[in-house]
Amino acid sequence: MFTINIWVLRGIIAVFLIAIVAATVGSFSVFQRSTFFVSGIAHGSLAGAALGIYLTLYLFPVNPFFTAILFSIFFAVAIGIASHRKEDVDVAIGIMFSFSMSLAILFLAMIKEYASVAWGLIIGDLLLLSSEDIIWMLTTVLLILLFFLLFRRRLLFSIFDPDGAESMGINPYIYETLLFILIALGVVVLLKGVGAILVYALLIVPAAAAKRFTATLEGTLVLSFFISLIAGLGGILLSIFTSVAPSAYAGLIATFIYFLSLLKK
């Protein structure tokens, strides 16, 4: 009984951390219209995590969380540079998307427990997180929060009005890259909990819905937090009573709230 509680408790902590990422990184990605970037990076981090698992199983132990972060930051910076060099940013993302997805399949295919590992990365395991996972997630979220608090004003200025920001000595390119890196970190936090496919559901969908319910910046951030939280907690709750992964319910709740937001206005 006690062990079950510990798993559930870790799941709840993870959901809180995910909600913080949705409120900060998620909202700003929606403002910046870089949500396709988010799904691109989700697959980049999938390849990284798969590599980490492969290395741990057959060569030397390395936390998949760490390789996932390395990969997603690498892809984020590469996409940032490509779009700065005037490649259409969606094309850059699409190329990285294909590249990282192919890598992910390759790495997963080299793992003997292929199916279960792949399944874990694709749909996540909110109720199977180790305390080491939680520490990684917590550290990453603290890092995101730190950067967000320090640079949120300049970040917002560059997103809203790059020319105006630059005329004030703020280099919008640097802040765009910073946002990309924060997205990369955020995606990895979500990957472990809800899996690559549903990163979008808990990172972007809450912010997209929140933005339709409120017209202010603070409102959007606060609401994204709660929508993501409700989706995550609801997912865990429903998962306890059925045998379906929590991420499925969480994704359904988040998209359902989004559909509700469409009724407004």
Partner 1 sequence: MSKYIEVKNLSVRYNGTPTLKNINFRIEHPSFLVIMGPNGAGKTTLLKAIMGLVPYEGDIRILGKAPKEARNFMGYMPQRDRINTNVPLRVRDVVLMPLLSRRKFGISREEVEQAKRALRFVGLEKLWNRNFLSLSGGQQQRVFLARTLAMDPQVIVLDEPFSATDVATKMKVVSLLHRLKSTKTIILVTHDINPLVECTDKVLLLNREMIAFGRTIEVITEENMELLYGARVPVIRQRDVCYLVGSDTHVHH
Residue ranges binding partner 1 (CB under 8 A)? 30-33, 86, 149-151, 153-154, 156-157, 159-170, 211, 214-217, 219-220
CA separation (Å) from 52 to 65, 144, 254? 8, 22, 30
Cα of 228 vs its chain's centroid, Å: 12
**Considering all CA atoms of the chain, what is the largest pairwise distance in Å, rounded to the nearest integer?**
60
Closest distance to partner 1 from the beta carbon of 160 (Å): 5
Q: How far is the CB of 248 from partner 1 (least distance, A)?
A: 29
Handedness of CA 100, 103, 109, 110 (dihedral sign): negative
| Cβ-based nearer residue to partner 1, 137 or 182 | 182
Query: Closer CB to partner 1, residue 14 or residue 208?
Result: 208
Identify the DSSP state of 215.
S
Residue with smaller CB distance to partner 1, 34 or 247 = 34
Chain centroid to Cα 152, Å, comes to 18
Instruction: Give the nearest distance from C-beta 50 to partner 1 in angstroms.
Output: 34
Minimum separation from the CB atom of position 193 to partner 1 (A): 27
Measured between alpha carbons, how far is 19 from 229 in angstroms, rounded to an integer? 5
Residue among 108 and 204 whose Cβ is closer to partner 1: 204
Alpha-carbon distance of 67 to 57, in angstroms, equals: 14
Please give the Cα distance from 227 to 200 (Å, whole number). Answer: 13
Closest distance of CB 78 from partner 1, Å = 21
Residue 86 gets the label, from left (phi > 0), alpha (psi -120 to 50) or beta, of left
Q: Pick between residue 87 and residue 161 the one whose CB is nearest to partner 1.
A: 161
The span from the CA of 59 to the CA of 53, in Å, is: 10
Quick one: 135 or 164, whose CB is closer to partner 1? 164
CB of 257 to partner 1, least distance (A): 17
